[in-house]
Structure 1
């Protein structure tokens, strides 16, 4: 019998990209999957029940979790994927904009996790998989606030894993690099754009146009999500895709000056 049959999974931000691919992968593996999006969509992922949920709204999160429990009576897996992007010079965003970014990408994860933990604990165990980023390991220019929130996800996930192991609940964070999704196109723009950063911003835009056609498909990340969700001995961290593995190894073993120069060269910055 399929070991995942009868298990219930929630995947936030499942209308497209990594979330959609992960929801479909988990459904094929035997999970009963509920995907979420802020607005109800017509055609959701195959074999996935889509429900509306705004992760910045505690009442919306509680309503979602209650609806899933009413239908299945259990929650075995939460994949925290919902998020927004922001590429800008650090001083180009107001405090309010940075707070909005953290409200979705970090506090949304905390709201969802706090809402499902009682049910997962009552059932005797389960998994929480958080979609992080290689930028949570290696900050890059013009992603200061996004890198900060992904670093926060790394620390939150590892601390939470230590706390929940007593209840047979394991927490993993997935670290992809560039992925072929509409994520970057749907990211928010800086609300205090400055002419001093026009040239550098154009360089980052050029970089994205160059790398995105060759970036990993969302299915590459979805495979790693499934591995973290089903492995008997899950790791706390998983890189996802060739580029993420290469950058992670380079950061670990290359001299700091060499890595710094390579990073600045990639972003078209003077070395």
Structure 2
């Protein structure tokens, strides 16, 4: 499918975005990477970088117009740019939550609004939204991030119904924890942890332990390539653990899933209901 196909990837300067840009370019795609600062992006053969801030309407419009001026079309849009936030929901300010949603939900919305008209006109296109297992399986102390991914999943499913008659489809790619800067350097809420300090510390340590042995960004990039070249499926967990969690969520009793999650995130028996 790579011949003459134009791919746009946001958040392409590191992590999943950079690994995907590199892998797709190696497989013959014409790749445009959207980054906040192109001078800080690593040069990759076959990848051209442009400046984009997905939280800014004008920046998104200018970036997409630049891609059209260079390539004349966008065949595949990969909404990868994202931010994380760790902390109790009670301690999260509305401004902190808004910043997460502005990147993780409204960012893809802005990119879709800019790119989709040309896809509809061409009656061809694929939009890949990078979600997370937390988009269907929330985790403690990551409530705002999980909420943003839930919102992205709802938006994606609704959009796919609306645009499939134009031969444009939406894929939700759902990685589990990945060994990237996003997971390792996740921002924390500004307010003191207070009553949540002991449990939050245990949960953060449990998550960090998982990240240290988590799959690399390349494993997710390979799943993106497979989603492009393979048969269409809306929801695509990325990796064995993500697939297992998806099946557990669907088929295991709710109490069993709840208990397993609490153990995974460092909640002892004294916390169980």
2:165 equivalent to 1:166: yes
RMSD: 1.3
Residues 181 and 42 of structure 1, relative CA distance in 2, 3 Å threshold: closer
Query: Corresponding residue for 2:88?
Result: 89
For residue 31 of structure 2, the aligned residue among 22, 30, 33 is 33
Contact map agreement 1:84 1:186 (CA 8 A) in 2: no
Contact map agreement 1:17 1:218 (CA 8 A) in 2: yes
Residues 42 and 105 of structure 1, relative CA distance in 2, 3 Å threshold: closer
Contact map agreement 2:176 2:241 (CA 8 A) in 1: yes
The residue correspondences of 1:1-271 to structure 2 (distance < 5 A) are: 3-40=1-38, 41-231=40-230, 233-269=231-267, 270-271=271-272
CA distance in 2, matches of 1:171, 1:135: 19
CA distance in 2, matches of 1:177, 1:160: 23
**How far is the alpha carbon of 1:103 from its aligned partner?**
0.3
SS at 1:243 equivalent: helix
**How far is the alpha carbon of 1:168 from its aligned partner?**
0.7
Contact map agreement 2:35 2:41 (CA 8 A) in 1: no
Runs of 4+ that moved beyond 6 A: none
Give the number of equivalent residue pairs.
268
CA distance in 2, matches of 1:204, 1:177: 16
Where does the alignment leave 5 or more consecutive residues of structure 1 unmatched? none
CA distance in 1, matches of 2:203, 2:145: 15
CA distance in 2, matches of 1:44, 1:62: 24
Residues 182 and 264 of structure 1, relative CA distance in 2, 3 Å threshold: same
Contact map agreement 2:184 2:208 (CA 8 A) in 1: no
Greater mean deviation of Cα atoms: 185-194 or 150-159: 185-194
**How far is the alpha carbon of 1:245 from its aligned partner?**
1.1
Contact map agreement 1:15 1:44 (CA 8 A) in 2: no
SS at 1:56 equivalent: coil
